[in-house]
């Protein structure tokens, strides 16, 4: 799949933002420190959501995306994000101005944050046409990134270190199983064309000599040869460096260093998540599994 920058930025920033907002909802912070931290969470989440609209051909109709929540994970994601940001707003005001409204809105908002990130991940995990994504590891890794990203940004070593460990393990599991998932799904050039009943199928001639939308969007394969290197970068930057920073760097510098590295690692992970995923339509163009 084509690793469009808008979608990478969307999933990374909104994931980290909602992870951080969930923590703010649960624990909060008072006064102007609270204001700055709430603004950071809102800023990340909203920046991600805005980035996603750059992916659209007709963004002026984006409000229609709230209508089909019954079947569409993308529509549910829209609702979840707006409802969550709305639920957290009174909590943020209460924290900042000291209204003392308890943590009800915050706790509900934290649940909303988890729901939002889950909906985001299901946009990809629901697609049977992309076998690498159609697996429980997709929501698991998205949620782990949100939790770890939020804790890293908060500079919290006590919960941050275990969260990073879980994230690292889940990333490894995702990559390990990902390679064989296309073949396991059972689609081949033979089933795609139905000609397997006669014999082995290969491309004799392509249907067009130039490129087209399908090839640009879904048959992207430039990045696959660098997969091992990008995995290393993602694992080191998203998990290992933040863990070291949280464990050994004192004071608020830990959070800044850890969050910077984690953000880079998350971007690398998400780039590969798209670049590495193979769509079954590639079979019609002669792209076999593996």
- The contact set with other proteins (CB under 8 A) reads 1, 55-59, 61-62, 64-68, 70-75, 78, 123, 126-130, 185-187, 189, 191-195, 197-208, 210-214, 217-218, 279-281, 284
* Residue 181 CB, nearest approach to other proteins (Å): 14
Question: How far is it, in rounded angstroms, from Cα 74 to Cα 76?
Answer: 5
Please state, in angstroms and rounded to a whole number, the distance separating the CA atoms of residues 253 and 245. Answer: 9
**How many CA atoms lie within 13 Å of 124's alpha carbon, on the beta-carbon side?**
24
With contact defined as beta carbons under 8 Å apart, do 17 and 25 qualify?
Answer: no
**Toward other proteins, which CB reaches closer, 186 or 290?**
186
Residues present in the chain in total: 290
Of 178, 213, 205, 206, give the one whose Cα is nearest residue 289.
178
N-to-C CA span, the chain: 15
Q: In the complex with other proteins, which residue's Cβ is closer, 10 or 20? A: 10
The separation between CA 237 and the C-alpha centre of its own chain, rounded to angstroms, equals 16
Separation of alpha carbons 90 and 38, rounded Å: 11
- Is 111 or 191 the residue whose CB approaches other proteins more closely? 191
Closer to other proteins by CB, 199 or 290: give it: 199
Which residue, 55 or 229, has its beta carbon nearer to other proteins?
55
* Minimum gap (Å) between residue 177 Cβ and other proteins: 19
Who contacts 287 (Cβ-Cβ below 8 Å, separation ≥6)?
A: 219, 221, 278
Of 129, 113, 66, the closest CA to residue 278 belongs to 129
Q: Shortest distance, CB of residue 62 to other proteins, whole angstroms?
A: 6
Minimum CB–partner distance for residue 2 and other proteins (Å): 10
Provide DSSP, 227-290.
Answer: HHHHHHHHHIIIIIHHHHHHHHS-STHHHHHHHHHHHHHHHHHHHHHHHT---GGGGGGT----
**In the complex, least distance from residue 278 CB atom to other proteins, rounded to whole angstroms:** 12
Least CB distance from residue 279 to other proteins, whole Å?
Answer: 7
Cβ of residue 196: shortest distance to other proteins, in angstroms? Answer: 9
**Smaller CB separation from other proteins, 202 or 290:** 202
Q: How far is the CB of 53 from other proteins (least distance, A)?
A: 9
Give the separation between CA 96 and CA 34, rounded to whole angstroms: 5
Q: Are 148 and 163 in contact (CB under 8 A)?
A: yes
Nearer to other proteins, 200 or 225 (CB): 200
> Of 134 and 231, which CB lies nearer to other proteins in the complex structure?
134
């Amino acid at each position: 799949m084509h690793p469009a920058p808008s979608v990478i930025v969307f999933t990374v920033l909104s994931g980290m933002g909602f992870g951080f907002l969930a923590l703010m909802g649960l624990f909060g912070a008072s006064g102007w420190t609270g204001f700055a931290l709430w603004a950071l969470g809102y800023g990340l989440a909203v920046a991600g959501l805005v980035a996603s609209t750059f992916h659209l051909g007709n963004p002026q109709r984006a409000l229609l995306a709230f209508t089909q929540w019954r079947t569409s994970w993308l529509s549910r994601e829209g609702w979840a994000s707006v409802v969550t940001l709305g639920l957290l707003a009174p909590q943020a005001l209460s924290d900042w101005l000291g209204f003392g409204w308890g943590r009800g809105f915050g706790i509900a908002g934290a649940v909303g944050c988890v729901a939002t990130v889950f909906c985001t991940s299901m946009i990809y995990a629901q697609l049977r046409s992309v076998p690498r994504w159609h697996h429980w590891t997709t929501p698991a890794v998205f949620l782990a990134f949100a939790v770890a990203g939020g804790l890293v940004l908060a500079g919290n070593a006590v919960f941050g270190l275990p969260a990073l460990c879980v994230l690292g393990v889940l990333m490894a599991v995702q990559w390990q199983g990902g390679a064989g998932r296309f073949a396991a799904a059972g689609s081949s050039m033979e089933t795609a064309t139905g000609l397997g009943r006669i014999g082995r199928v290969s491309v004799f001639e392509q249907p067009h000599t130039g490129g087209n939308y399908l090839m640009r969007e879904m048959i992207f394969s430039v990045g696959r040869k660098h997969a091992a290197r990008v995995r290393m970068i993602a694992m080191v930057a998203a998990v290992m460096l933040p863990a070291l920073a949280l464990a050994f760097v004192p004071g608020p510098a830990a959070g800044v260093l850890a969050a910077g590295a984690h953000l880079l690692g998350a971007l690398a992970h998400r780039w590969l998540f798209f670049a590495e995923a193979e769509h079954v339509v590639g079979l019609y163009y002669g792209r076999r599994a593996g």
